[in-house]
Amino acid sequence: MHTIIDELKRLGEEIKVLYVEDNKGLRESVSELLKKLFPYIYTAENGEAGFQLYREHNPDIVLTDIKMPGMSGFDLAKLIKEDNNDVRIIFLSAFDEKEYLHEAIDIGVFRYLSKPTKVPLLVSTLHQAVLSIHNERNKRIFERQLNDIFNYQNNLLMMFEKGTPILVNRQFLDFFGVKSLEEFIQQHNELDTLLQEHQGFLYSTSESGWFEKALENPGKLFHAKVANHSNEARHLIMKLRIIPDKEGFVILSFDDISDLNLMMIFDGNAAKNDKKLHDTSAVLKLMNVIKENASEVKLHNFYRGLTIVNSALLIQMDEKNVVLKTAHSQLKAIKLAKNITITSELFPFSVLCKIANSIDFDQQTVTFSDMQFVQESADQRVNIRLEPDEERHSVTLFRNEIKFFGKTRIIDISICSVKIEIDALPAGLTVGESAKIAVVLETDLQPVSLSIIGTVYRIDSFSKSFHVVLLFELTAPNSDKLLGYIANRQMELIREFKAL
């Protein structure tokens, strides 16, 4: 009984109870009991007063006598049921004739108890009434979320209350080959093991469980590997959503994308030569998952090395094109650069869009096609690499202390690397060897002069020129000078970009 009372108090924290009884002594004694179980108790001495209190307070449970002066308990129950059929009505009556019981059933009364009613029976009946109210409310919350969040018809759904699963949908049961949530829990009593380990996916570790990680990041899309009823590993996209105004309630949705065959792409070694990197259809299908979840992506562009990053919302797509809504500054950067890099928590790698089909500044939208995954992307830059002013810098290349007299310019420079363009390749210059450059970067105050010895990291050959990338480490004074130049150049480019 103590367990039932404790649960009744916990579940009854928001329950309102109306008690109607014409016997004053009985009304007062039962009211005292009810006040120990529920925070909201309203009492009335007859049917008319009871119905008035019902209209004022909309109680969830009504306990009423049947035989009372004026409006009877039956008449009160009929009026209440006509107004709200969800109210649990409990009759307390000294009359036990069958006609009363049959009429109570016809009205839809929750329980019919004979007076005098023993306290354990009354408490047990109230406990059952509260449980039925909560179950009904949970089902309605679940159904409302199906309509409010997004189209869940093809998704697996699981609803939790304070970390305990309480409801699942038919797709969920079919996926695991079970007939009920209880059967699922029996088979998977350790929910931490439900999500299997896979590189780049969500799963439990020794530090924390997967559910806790999802709970810390509501709305985030996670990749998950889950075995179905045939013990076949399936690739699912999982999202946790907190239910508004219902503390402790969350819904997990799982979207099966196994047909994309993307699990292998998360293996860094296998992905290097995987055709999926160039599979536009796979990109589009992941984009569609993002669209259905109303999630954002990040757009990355560069203006002469200056990073331009803004969030974007995917508002429309078809078999070839994706329409994104983003900030005006990003659209301006896209117009200048033509292509764009898109990142998302859902993508195994960044997505490179090579063609901006159209840009609509009025609607703040851009339409893209020709998309593919790229393993190296602009958003992974550790250091700022900026283009110096074309007319306000000079660079001279030396190999073995011999000056190169060809045409040379800096394409971009950072605190640890520089890319230079030369019209011819000095004889014998190869990747891995040392080279020296003398750099002069003009500013409004005084020029920054640097003598840099670096290692050739990459050489790219073009029809009329070569690009050479040098990696280097500067001494503290030279490092401070270059950092100051980069900071000032960054501000110049910001002003220049805004003026465009």
* CATH number of the domain enclosing 169: 3.30.450
Please tell me the distance from the alpha carbon of residue 470 to that of residue 461, in angstroms, as a whole number.
Answer: 15
Say if residue 6 is in the same domain as residue 128. yes
In a domain, 143, yes or no: no
- Give the per-residue pLDDT at 275: 60
Residue 151's pLDDT is what? 39
Q: What's the pLDDT score for residue 469?
A: 96
Establish if 63 belongs to a structural domain: yes
**Residue 238 counted as domain residue:** yes
Q: Which residue segment(s) compose the domain that 335 sits in?
A: 275-380
- Residue 441's contacts (CB-CB under 8 Å, 6 or more residues apart) are 388, 392, 393, 413, 447, 448, 449, 450, 485
Residues 468, 415 within the same domain: yes
For position 283, which CATH number holds?
2.40.10
* Residues 305 and 367 reside in one and the same domain: yes
* H helical segments located in 149-258: 170-176, 181-187, 210-216
CA distance 452 to 397: 10
Q: How far is CA 68 from CA 56, 72, 358, in A?
A: 21, 5, 77
Residues 371 and 310 in one domain: yes
Closest to 242 measured CA to CA, from 145, 174, 125, 331 = 145
Note whether 382 and 437 are within 8 A (CB): no
Let me know whether 218 and 292 are in one domain. no
Cα distances (angstroms) measured from residue 419 to each of 200, 305, 388, 416, 432: 33, 12, 11, 11, 15
241 and 129 share one domain = no
Q: 266 lies in a domain?
A: no
Is cis: bond before 348, omega within 30 of 0? no
Residue 243 belongs to some domain of the structure: yes
Interacting residues of 360 by C-beta distance below 8 A, sequence separation 6+: 366
Task: Evaluate whether 307 touches 386 at the Cβ level (below 8 Å).
Answer: no
Number of compact structural domains in the chain: 4
For residues 500 and 493, give the distance between their C-alpha atoms in angstroms, rounded to a whole number: 11
| 364 and 403, same domain (yes or no) | no
With respect to residue 386, please indicate whether it lies within any of the assigned structural domains.
no
Give the residue from 380, 406, 426 where a domain finishes. Answer: 380
- 130 and 9 assigned to the same domain: yes
What is the model's pLDDT at position 145?
65
Match 């896209």 to its residue by tokens.
334
Residues 432 and 477 grouped into a single domain = yes
The CATH number of whichever domain residue 92 belongs to comes to 3.40.50.2300
Of 380, 404, 423, the residue that ends a domain is 380
CATH number at residue 465: 2.40.10.220
Query: Does residue 236 sit in the same domain as residue 293?
Result: no
**Could you list the pLDDT tens digit for every one of the 500 residues in the chain?**
678 888 888 888 889 999 999 999 999 999 999 999 999 999 999 999 999 999 999 999 999 998 888 898 889 999 999 999 899 999 988 766 566 777 777 788 888 888 888 889 999 999 999 999 988 888 777 766 655 543 345 789 898 998 899 888 888 999 999 999 999 999 988 888 999 999 889 999 999 999 999 999 998 999 999 999 999 999 999 999 998 877 889 999 998 988 877 787 776 554 455 565 666 777 888 888 888 888 889 999 889 988 899 999 999 988 888 999 999 999 999 988 877 899 988 888 888 887 788 999 999 999 988 888 887 655 556 678 899 999 999 999 998 888 998 899 999 999 999 999 999 998 888 999 999 999 999 988 889 999 999 999 999 999 999 999 999 999 999 999 999 999 999 999 999 998 88
Whether residue 404 is found in the same domain as residue 363: no
**Which of 358, 380, 402 delimits the end of a domain?**
380
What DSSP state is assigned to residue 15?
-
Task: Indicate whether 295 and 215 sit together in one domain.
Answer: no
Report yes or no on 31 lying in a domain.
yes
With respect to residue 237, please indicate whether it lies within any of the assigned structural domains.
yes
